[in-house]
Amino acid sequence: MQRSTMPRIELSRLEDFATTILHHAGMAEENASTVAKVMCAADRIGLGSHGVARLSTYLERVRAGVMEIDPEVVVTSETASVATVDAANGFGQVAATLAMNLAMDKARRTGIAAVSVKNSNHFGIAGHYARTAAENRLIGIVMTNASPALPPFNAKDKLLGTNPVAIGVPSLNQPLAVLDMSSTLVARGKIRRHLEEGRTTLPRGWANDAQGRPTTDPHEALKGSLAPIGGPKGAGLALMIDLLTGVLSGTTVTGDVGNLLDASRTAKTSHLMIALDPDKFIGGTAFGELVDTVLATISSMEPADGGRVYYPGLVEHDRSLDAAENGADITNEGLDRLNREASIYGLSPLV
């Protein structure tokens, strides 16, 4: 049965609570705050599948010994515009934040920079890091690989990950344009969110079962594979992202990334953070003004079927404003998991 209501929690309370749990689990407070901030960034824009409800999955992996709570993240190689970061099997949010900050610093000096991250774990939503670059008047491009979820074109078995890519572009006055998309029609987290909300049926075309047949059963979908966007185009995009993350970092070859829910093995996830400084091209202000013009044009267009015309990032902007005023939606199951984690470390429940 689908739940008719979900708790709405003030974002600052949610972030503080997650930070406290992580700190009590053994993570330095600064890193705990970073992880909590990235998780809450997902809840802020309505992507609860990647929000604080995911914390229990991370800590279960830590307790199983396949993920480190707070290792030393180090830069293993570096030039003026390129670097490699070793996440040391720690939280992806910590390593990815360091990597994007490093890429932004380098891009301000050289115009463009790329930082590869190896030996990492799930890092939350890719759009958070792309948005961070855009908020700092830079262009951000972010990629990560993931465990096998879809087959190469015309193959029977899954090999490629959902492998998202995010692009954030700065503007002066318009809400930021931020594209965040997986190589599949939906991410696995969205299917898990359906289950948490008590939904028993998926929209047709989202997924296939373990035999490669289309399915609307979320349980069978998680055992099977996800449908790529645009058929061979989505499968091709997933492959290219895998080559630019796992292979370029030297961490994994395609198909060797561990599943987030499999607590029997390490993940070996990889990311790529790219930053560009428009100031080194046509000038930051000139670029921002032109971006504003494009975005304002799109927003003012007549809709085809009522409602509003959107560009990437505008829906998330609206949701963020709503969450800032009314709090973030948390499923009852997600809240239960969060409170169970708190009890493990001797903390009072959030609600």
Q: Do 344 and 238 have their domain in common?
A: no
The burial class, CB within 10 Å (0-12 / 13-18 / 19+), for 336 is middle
Phi, psi of 114 (to 5 degrees): -135, 135
Q: Do 64 and 77 have their domain in common?
A: no
Q: What is the pLDDT of residue 225?
A: 85
Contact 273, 99 (CB under 8 A): yes
Q: Do 146 and 157 have their domain in common?
A: yes
Q: 1 lies in which domain range? A: 1-70+301-351
Q: Is residue 126 part of a domain?
A: yes
CATH number for 103: 3.30.1370.60
**CA neighbours within 13 Å on the CB side: how many for 108?**
9
pLDDT at 2 exceeding the cut of 50: no
Q: What is the pLDDT of residue 3?
A: 41
pLDDT tens for each residue of 169-187 = 999 999 999 999 999 988 7
Contact 178, 166 (CB under 8 A): yes
Q: Is residue 85 part of a domain?
A: yes
Question: How far is Cα 201 from Cα 209, in angstroms, rounded to an integer?
Answer: 13
Q: Do 169 and 44 have their domain in common?
A: no
Q: Do 94 and 168 have their domain in common?
A: yes
Q: Do 66 and 79 have their domain in common?
A: no
Domain boundary among 220, 247, 280: 280
Q: Do 28 and 167 have their domain in common?
A: no
Q: Is residue 37 part of a domain?
A: yes
The string of DSSP letters for 308-345 reads ----TTHHHHHHHHHHHHH-EE--HHHHHHHHHHHHHT
Q: Do 257 and 125 have their domain in common?
A: yes
Q: Indicate yes or no: pTM above 0.85.
A: yes
Q: What is the pLDDT of residue 141?
A: 99
Q: Do 250 and 132 have their domain in common?
A: yes
What's the structural domain count of the chain? 2
Q: Is residue 221 part of a domain?
A: no
User: What DSSP state is assigned to residue 150?
Assistant: B
3-class DSSP state for residue 262? coil
For tokens 């939503």, name the residue: 125
